[in-house]
Amino acid sequence: MTIRIASDSLSFDAGAVRPVLGVSASCQSRVWTDRVGEARAPMVQAIAQRYGLPEVVARVLVGRQVSPDEAAAYLDPSLKTLMPDPSVLRDMDAAAERVADAVERGERIALFGDYDVDGATASALFGRFLRHQRLDPAVYIPDRLVDGYGPNPRAVQDLASGGATLLVTLDCGTQSFEAFAAARAVGLDVVTFDHHQSGVELPPVRALVNPNRQDDLSGLGHLAAVGVSFLGVVAVNRELRRRGWYARGGLKEPDLLGLLDLVALGTVCDVVPLLGLNRAFVVKGLQVMRARANRGLAALADVVKLSGPPTCYHLGYLIGPRINAGGRIGDSGLGARLLMGDDSVEAGRMAVELDRLNRERQQLESEALDAAEAMVTAALVTEAPAVLVASSADWHPGIVGLVAARLKERHNRPAFAMALKGDGTATGSGRSIPGVDIGAMVRAAVDAGLLQKGGGHAMAAGLTLDARRIDAFRAFAEEALKTGVTSARAVDALPVDGVVTAGGATVSLVETLERAGPFGAGQPDPVFVLPAHRVAYAEVIGNGHVRVSLAASDGTKIKGMAFRAAGQPLGDFLTGARDRPVHVAGVLGLDHWHGEPRVQLRVLDAADPTRARP
């Protein structure tokens, strides 16, 4: 019997594969599977021998579908090799020509970006490029509560009234028919750089660059909007060079590679697959970030007390959420202004404010999640739905996406959370599990007349609807996704890369593993199992995290953290297993405490050794 693994889209024969350490049902009812498997073991040896790599690194590469012939390029991704000609994107040449015209004529350009990290980084990237051309672009990031998602007629008219003759939208605009009709009416040209999925019909604009529009054949649909925008900047820069702009004006060409720290941040935080060009963006962007040239990023790194070199984890879980906090519950443009600014003092002030807003966001999220959990738990007991839908008039619209994400994580099924507004509408966000495309379902619901508007990706979507139609949407989503969810949940597996002890989990091992990174969406962190380690202590700290100390049989210890596990099966299992041996699965990382690296474990799962099959 072949079963599709929802966790990483690999398939395996459930009857032939022996679970790692015999764990077929962990405390979270997961089976621990060998990510490599016996059939691919020869590839591990081939890579290790050909490139002189430790076997553990070779295992990680093979587990991520890297063949022996691809290993060298994977370990050292080259932008020069992977960067496509931007012209392969539909409408890119027209977009570059119109922006170059505006630069040459000194036009007033308005940038309209989304309020998430991808939109903020894309806006900052384009804004920095235009400022280098001696322009002062207006940057508009919509207010989530007042403007909603994407361009709107009022904002477009305000930008035109302010003197803008060219509107560049970033990470939004693909479905902005009404707003762009308003732009045309006031003589405002529009160029869009986006990556959201689209229908066949597109709004009439000067250029709409989106690798996910249905007539684009570039094969770059995996890029975040900031990646698309970077290709746009490359194209505009090339067009200006062709026209003699730099030679004629005595202006030095901008250092485009110096913008890759922004590209890396947006790419990681938008959870697009870290494959191909995206991986090169992140590898090179992290290198740029170490130089701390961007004052805003440096200020955020200081606020979160980042020590040691930045990693994808730091971007996704420490820096990104703080930039998002402004768009969720505060000043939506604060993150973009921070990333565009060059004043260290002002950057420090903005970073502190974003940190404050993030703490406030965490409190709002915690309260909403408790209420949402009560709602869906009741539904799971009585109906066992494939899709979870929760709504409340008490929730801030800026945190519903986070609530949906937490529900999805806890219950391993797609989830939607909606904030009910006083005008009778509901605005919500959805998050999905691998193998279940909620973006397509939401677009189908729009076409069916159930939603006023909606769109997104396979893994995340946003929507607005009449609050009286929430039940109808729930039924529509259930019917559309039930089969896919059932298939994706057939086996809830945790792929494991290897087994180590506390003594073997050394700084050297973690640094060696980093050679196969960076890790993120599409390239999961290596997972290692610590067998039969005694829980020396376990306690709940902070916002529902569980801190543990695990001891091997020789007395060697390692510290670990199970994030947001308190009150969940994992947290309850760990706190109830003090002084008992347990199998623990997690991700190894380095904590640079006072400049000295120490190994720590991010705990993902645990199991009772006495209940595992040998």
- Distance, in Å, from the CA atom of 547 to the CA atom of 538, rounded to the nearest integer, reads 6
Q: What percent of the chain has pLDDT over 70?
A: 97
Mean pLDDT of the chain: 92
Q: Is the pLDDT of residue 455 over 90?
A: no
- Same domain for 12 and 126, yes or no, is no
- Same domain for 250 and 118, yes or no, is yes
Q: Which of 447, 464, 488 is the last residue of a domain?
A: 488
User: What average pLDDT does this structure show over 392-405?
Assistant: 94
- Same domain for 484 and 499, yes or no, is no
Q: Which domain holds residue 554?
A: 2-35+493-611
How would residue 183 be classed by pLDDT, with cut points 50, 70 and 90? very high
pLDDT at 17: 62
User: What average pLDDT does this structure show over 550-555?
Assistant: 96
- Same domain for 464 and 590, yes or no, is no
**CB within 8 Å of 340: residues ≥ 6 apart:** 123, 124, 127, 128, 131, 139, 296
- Same domain for 18 and 148, yes or no, is no
pLDDT digits (tens, 9 = 90+) for 532-547: 999 999 999 988 999 9
pLDDT at 380: 86
Instruction: Evaluate whether residue 48 is within a structural domain.
Output: no
- The DSSP call for residue 214 is T
pLDDT digits (tens, 9 = 90+) for 339-366: 999 999 999 999 999 999 999 999 999 9
Instruction: Evaluate whether residue 65 is within a structural domain.
Output: no
Q: What is the CATH number of the domain that holds 548?
A: 2.40.50.140
pLDDT digits (tens, 9 = 90+) for 56-104: 899 999 999 999 999 999 998 999 999 999 999 999 999 999 999 999 9
pLDDT digits (tens, 9 = 90+) for 261-306: 999 999 999 989 999 999 999 999 999 999 999 999 999 999 999 9
Instruction: Evaluate whether residue 433 is within a structural domain.
Output: yes
Q: Is the pLDDT of residue 526 over 50?
A: yes
Give the DSSP per-residue string, 136-205. Answer: --EEE---TTTT-SS--HHHHHHHHHTT-SEEEEES--TT-HHHHHHHHHTT-EEEEE--S---S-----
Q: What is the CATH number of the domain that holds 402?
A: 3.10.310.30
- Element (H or E) spanning 436, and its range? none
- Same domain for 232 and 326, yes or no, is yes
Phi/psi at 583 (5° precision): -85, 130
**CB within 8 Å of 263: residues ≥ 6 apart:** 121, 125, 226, 227, 230, 281, 285
- Distance, in Å, from the CA atom of 191 to the CA atom of 250, rounded to the nearest integer, reads 27
Q: Which of 443, 473, 488 is the last residue of a domain?
A: 488
Report for 4-8, 227-231, 445-449, 607-611: range of highest mean pLDDT: 227-231
pLDDT digits (tens, 9 = 90+) for 578-589: 999 999 999 999
Instruction: Evaluate whether residue 194 is within a structural domain.
Output: yes
Higher pLDDT, 379 or 430: 430
Instruction: Evaluate whether residue 55 is within a structural domain.
Output: no
- Same domain for 502 and 481, yes or no, is no
Q: Is the pLDDT of residue 600 over 70?
A: yes
The angle that helices 295-303 and 344-382 make with each other, rounded to 10 degrees, is: 60
Q: Which of 463, 488, 513 is the last residue of a domain?
A: 488
pLDDT digits (tens, 9 = 90+) for 130-175: 999 999 999 999 988 788 778 999 999 999 999 999 999 999 999 8
Amino acid residing at 554: D
Instruction: Evaluate whether residue 60 is within a structural domain.
Output: no
| Domain count within the chain | 3
Q: What percent of the chain has pLDDT over 90?
A: 83
- Same domain for 87 and 197, yes or no, is yes
Instruction: Evaluate whether residue 56 is within a structural domain.
Output: no
Cα separation of the two ends of the chain? 22
pLDDT at 70: 93
Amino acid residing at 246: Y
pLDDT at 2: 26
- Same domain for 600 and 475, yes or no, is no
pTM as predicted = 0.88
Please count the residues of the chain. Answer: 614
Q: What is the CATH number of the domain that holds 106?
A: 3.90.1640.30
- Distance, in Å, from the CA atom of 604 to the CA atom of 175, rounded to the nearest integer, reads 38
- Same domain for 483 and 504, yes or no, is no
pLDDT at 595: 72
Q: Quick one: tokens of 475?
A: 């039924």
- Same domain for 234 and 290, yes or no, is yes
- Same domain for 498 and 463, yes or no, is no
Instruction: Evaluate whether residue 164 is within a structural domain.
Output: yes
